[in-house]
């Protein structure tokens, strides 16, 4: 496998993933400079997520129409321009607008990067390539808090965004030289009505859930936006059944491997999305750690995630997708449940050991579930599959934060007291149970599903060593 391709894509995706979490640590400092409260500034987080939700669905069509490599490079530059504008923003409105522009670039980078990987990677090497590409999604949220805390404490919050400039230009240069050209393919005219429905649906749901879990605005606004989002989603479902070339093709779900991957992956990702929200808060509010200290503790999970790239291909070839994914989901749930027993008296090394194993398990699960989703997708559906997967991932991550926040708020309201360590313990227990639910769809997965990609079973021996079709 030409490892330079997934590594270039991984660097760009890491920049996007880390930036989405690094800002959280710097919110008080940014808010002070802009003359607003930290809670109000959380609208900047929401605007980024809304941009992702709106533009991810159209990214696949753009990559098909104009070429995936070209769109990928443009996406990086849009992200860099948004980063510069964030650093020079002098008002809340300007900062929110800059974050929205960043989100537009980020929306293109993730699905288009996966599309480049799918169309340039052999079947037998997809698991290894996907393992490299999965690392940024796991490492980014973990490294964001300590990096953000360090830069804000010892330099200035502006450098959180300015550091993206050299990284972005390096990514464009490497992509220009090393990424293979993925030529445009013939596409139908863009589904404008479908784009309108999906934009309202995804942005309404993501914005609504974000506002409800991070109440910078009255909760009624969040509920209203969520209801509108779900209504638009229903309208899109009706539209997609009648339109010959819908923006997001629901026919993908007829493929059993893709359907199970989407369902199980979304459920597990809700739980995974809750953990980066819960763990730093518990360590800071419950254990009395500083943001930088808590970030150094949670960073250990990144090491667990990185180690999977060495083992993933051999493990999936030996046991197959079904067995490995079920085991990874169960052990991931167990390590999440262990967080419910942590107290300030728990040795830090014990906490870090559990987080190390948790990162290992979640990385295995996401490497496998992402590879499985594309294992039986032909080339004509590749861009549709990457767009659909990215939309589901973004919504499920937003749901993760909303679920975690709802548990904390519900627990404090029920007991009639301020937020305490017991509330975090309850949240981790519920999230662990949700992780186990992800196992249910996997039980119905065929034993040798995706064997041409995993290399497991007799069918793998008969598959040709050709790029994914």
Write out the two tokens for 429: 């227990």
Query: For residue 110, what are the contacts with CB-CB under 8 A and spacing of at least 6?
Result: 13, 16, 56, 390
Q: What is the pTM of this model?
A: 0.76
Pair 331, 91: CB distance under 8 Å: no
Instruction: Give the residue from 288, 177, 197, 289 showing the smallest Cα distance to 243.
Output: 197
- Give me the residue label for tokens 């997520």: 49
Q: What is the CATH number of the domain that holds 96?
A: 1.20.1250.20
The answer to the question of residue 396 being in a domain is yes
DSSP 181: P
User: Total domain count for the chain?
Assistant: 1
Q: Which structural domain range is residue 97 located in? A: 4-462
Q: Is 371 left (phi over 0), alpha (psi -120 to 50) or beta?
A: alpha
The answer to the question of residue 468 being in a domain is no
The answer to the question of residue 469 being in a domain is no
- Is residue 267 over pLDDT 70? yes
The answer to the question of residue 467 being in a domain is no
Residue 237 CB neighbours (<10 A): 14
The arithmetic mean of pLDDT across residues 336-361, rounded, is 92
Range among 2-16, 49-63, 427-441 rated most confident: 427-441
The arithmetic mean of pLDDT across residues 448-458, rounded, is 69
pLDDT (tens digit per residue) in 81-124:
999 999 999 898 999 999 999 989 988 887 787 777 777 777 66
The answer to the question of residue 149 being in a domain is yes
Spell out a b/e string for 339-368, using b for 16 or more CB atoms within 10 Å of the CB, else e. Answer: bbebeeeeeeeebbebbbbbbbbbbbbbbb
The DSSP H or E segment spanning 404 is helix 382-415
Q: What number of CA atoms fall less than 13 Å from residue 344's CA on the CB side? A: 9
Mean residue pLDDT of the chain comes to: 82
The arithmetic mean of pLDDT across residues 445-460, rounded, is 68
pLDDT (tens digit per residue) in 278-294:
887 788 888 888 777 77
Instruction: Give the residue from 330, 335, 222, 331 showing the smallest Cα distance to 275.
Output: 335
pLDDT band at 313 (very low <50, low <70, confident <90, very high): confident
User: What pLDDT shows up at residue 131?
Assistant: 67
Is the model more confident about 266 or about 378? 266
- Is residue 135 over pLDDT 70? no
The rounded percent of the chain whose pLDDT value lies above 90 is: 25
The answer to the question of residue 16 being in a domain is yes
């Amino acid at each position: 496998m030409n490892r330079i391709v997934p590594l270039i894509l991984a660097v760009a995706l890491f920049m996007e993933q880390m930036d989405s979490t690094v800002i959280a640590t710097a919110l008080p400092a940014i808010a002070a400079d802009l003359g607003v409260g930290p809670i109000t500034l959380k609208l900047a987080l929401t605007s980024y997520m809304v941009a992702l939700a709106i533009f991810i669905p159209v990214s696949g069509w753009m990559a098909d129409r104009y070429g995936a490599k070209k769109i990928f490079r443009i996406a990086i530059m849009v992200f860099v321009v948004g980063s510069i504008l964030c650093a020079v923003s002098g008002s809340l409105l300007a900062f929110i607008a800059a974050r929205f522009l960043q989100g537009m670039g980020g929306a293109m980078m993730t699905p288009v990067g996966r599309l480049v990987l799918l169309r340039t990677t052999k079947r037998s090497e997809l698991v290894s390539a996907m393992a490299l590409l999965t690392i940024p999604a796991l490492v980014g949220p973990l490294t964001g808090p300590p990096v953000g805390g360090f830069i804000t404490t010892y330099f200035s919050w502006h450098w959180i965004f300015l550091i993206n400039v050299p990284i972005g230009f390096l990514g464009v240069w490497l992509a220009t030289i090393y990424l293979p050209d993925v030529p445009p393919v013939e596409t139908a005219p863009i589904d404008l009505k479908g784009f309108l429905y999906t934009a309202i649906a995804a942005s309404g749901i993501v914005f609504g859930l974000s506002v409800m879990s991070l109440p910078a605005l009255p909760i009624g606004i969040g509920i209203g936006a969520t209801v509108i989002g779900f209504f638009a989603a229903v309208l899109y479902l009706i539209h997609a059944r009648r339109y010959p070339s819908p923006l997001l093709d629901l026919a993908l779900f007829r493929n059993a491997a893709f359907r199970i991957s989407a369902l199980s992956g979304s459920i597990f990702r809700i739980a995974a999305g809750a953990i980066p929200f819960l763990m730093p808060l518990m360590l800071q509010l419950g254990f009395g750690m500083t943001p930088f200290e808590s970030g150094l503790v949670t960073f250990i999970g990144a090491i667990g995630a990185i180690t999977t790239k060495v083992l993933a291909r051999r493990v999936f070839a030996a046991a197959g997708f079904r067995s490995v994914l079920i085991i990874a989901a169960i052990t991931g749930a167990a390590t999440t449940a262990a967080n419910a027993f942590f107290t300030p008296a728990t040795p830090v090394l014990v906490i870090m050991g559990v987080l190390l194993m948790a990162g290992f398990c979640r990385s295995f699960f996401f490497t496998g579930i992402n590879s499985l989703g594309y294992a039986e997708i032909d080339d004509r559906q590749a861009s549709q599959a990457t767009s659909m997967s990215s939309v589901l991932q973004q919504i499920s991550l937003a749901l993760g934060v909303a679920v975690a926040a709802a548990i904390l708020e519900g627990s404090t309201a029920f007991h009639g007291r301020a937020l305490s360590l017991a509330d975090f313990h309850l949240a981790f227990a519920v999230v662990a149970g949700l992780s186990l639910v992800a196992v249910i769809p996997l039980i119905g997965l065929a034993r040798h599903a995706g064997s041409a990609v995993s290399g497991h079973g007799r069918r793998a021996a008969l598959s040709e060593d050709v790029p994914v079709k």
